[in-house]
A = this chain, B = another copy of it.
């Protein structure tokens, strides 16, 4: 692993744990086991290092999501695939959703340019498909955007609000992970059940 990779991985760890404002360049350097000056040698400054990490985090999710959204499957099948593969992925990267959500809320300007320029999840094709299946009488008449929001909410929220959920439900990490494993199949059934005619 070369120095740039070491820095990047360290930065990802620290940024995801502390957020942009809470992260310290020195801490990233220590985590990477290199001199702080190397951070600036490789990534110019904190903002650019952060953006590199953020873009990477987001770009891990986007293609995976779009691949499912834009496939040739039915809506029901897409819901099943999305929930299952998203949760599987996020169980392995639990810091990703809170990180992305937090930083998007904290940097509205950055977000705007981000969604204009970058490869982001795009559900427009899936929305059209939902409308079509509603017309065909497969799905109950609902607002496709609300359905999309429901799917994201059921899938992402437990990870985004990790600590809150554990606190309110009085469960520990092990129980939490068990719940998430079950959620892989439960959610899709639940959603499909509520919209199929």
Contact = CB atoms under 8 A, between A and B. Distances in A.
Contact of A158 (B111, B121, B149): B149
A152 B153 CA distance: 9
Contacts of A164: 100-101, 104
Copies in the complex: 2
Interface string A161-194: 1111101111100000001001100110011011
Interface residues of A, number: 55
Interface string A101-130: 110111010010011000011111000000
A91 interface: no
Given A152-B165, A161-B160, A167-B115, A182 B146 contact: yes
10 contacts: A20-B22, A101-B161, A123-B169, A143-B182, A149-B183, A150-B187, A150-B190, A156-B161, A160-B161, A194-B194
Interface of A: 18-22, 98, 100-102, 104-106, 108, 111, 114-115, 120-124, 142-143, 145-146, 148-150, 152-154, 156-158, 160-165, 167-171, 179, 182-183, 186-187, 190-191, 193-195
